[in-house]
């Protein structure tokens, strides 16, 4: 039997997409022929950037990476996986503190749809301290986010700050 090429879905809120996320996508595409970045449409909280803008910014950041697609999704991750013809869920593992929650979700997703497998990748050390929350906090306090986020995201955050003034 010929194995189907395996597609991996990398889900997250990516609010905003930062260099830790980029590092994971770069690693993933050396393993999987197709990687779908799934941007979660948050329904319960107000994001810093609206979903469509997050999708556009990630697309501009990843435009030179063949095999990578970016799509918004809502609802169950396993449904998005099936729609994407994928069965691998990619998650970044920064520290032991990520483990417990991720472990629980990985088992739950497999219970919801048995073929779903979760693969954990670790970023390069310098990005282990990075999170969306840290970037948002620095931005809110007026700090410089260059070196933390890709250039299209930095420009969008700068523009947002200008509008907020």
Contact code string over 2-41 relative to ligand ADP, x by CB under 6 A:
----------xxx-----xx--x-----------------
Rg (Cα) of the chain, in Å, rounded? 16
Of 27-35, 44-52, 75-83, 127-135, the segment contacting ligand ADP by CB under 6 A is 127-135
**Residue from 94, 105, 155, 160 that binds ligand ADP (CB under 6 A)?**
94
The Cα 109–Cα 106 span in angstroms is 5
Q: Considering the complex, state which of residue 123 and residue 150 has its C-beta at the smaller distance from ligand ADP.
A: 123
Q: Which is nearer to ligand ADP, 130 or 156 (CB)?
A: 130
- Best CA proximity match to 78, nearest among 39, 111, 120, 29: 111
Laid out side by side, the sheet with 7-12 consists of 68-73, 34-40, 7-12, 88-92, 117-121
The answer to the question of residue 59 lying near ligand ADP (CB under 6 A) is no
Closest contact distance (angstroms) between CB of 23 and ligand ADP is: 6
Residues in region 138-157 near ligand ADP by CB under 6 A = none
Q: Which residues of 72-82 are buried (b: 16+ CB within 10 A; e: fewer)?
A: ebeeebbebbe
């Amino acid at each position: 039997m010929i194995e189907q090429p395996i597609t991996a879905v990398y889900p997250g809120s990516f609010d905003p997409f930062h260099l830790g996320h980029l590092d994971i996508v770069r690693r993933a595409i050396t393993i999987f022929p197709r990687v779908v970045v799934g941007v979660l449409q948050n329904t319960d909280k107000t994001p810093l950037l609206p979903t469509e803008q997050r999708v556009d910014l990630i697309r501009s950041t990843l435009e030179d990476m063949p095999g990578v697609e970016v799509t918004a999704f809502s609802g169950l991750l396993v449904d998005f996986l099936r729609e994407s013809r994928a069965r691998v869920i990619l998650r970044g593992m920064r520290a032991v503190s990520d483990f417990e929650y991720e472990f629980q979700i990985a088992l739950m997703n497999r219970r919801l749809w048995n073929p779903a497998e979760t693969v954990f990748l670790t970023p390069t050390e310098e990005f282990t301290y990075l999170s969306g929350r840290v970037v948002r906090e620095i931005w809110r306090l007026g700090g410089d986010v260059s070196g933390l986020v890709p250039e299209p995201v930095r420009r969008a955050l700068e523009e947002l700050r200008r509008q907020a003034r």
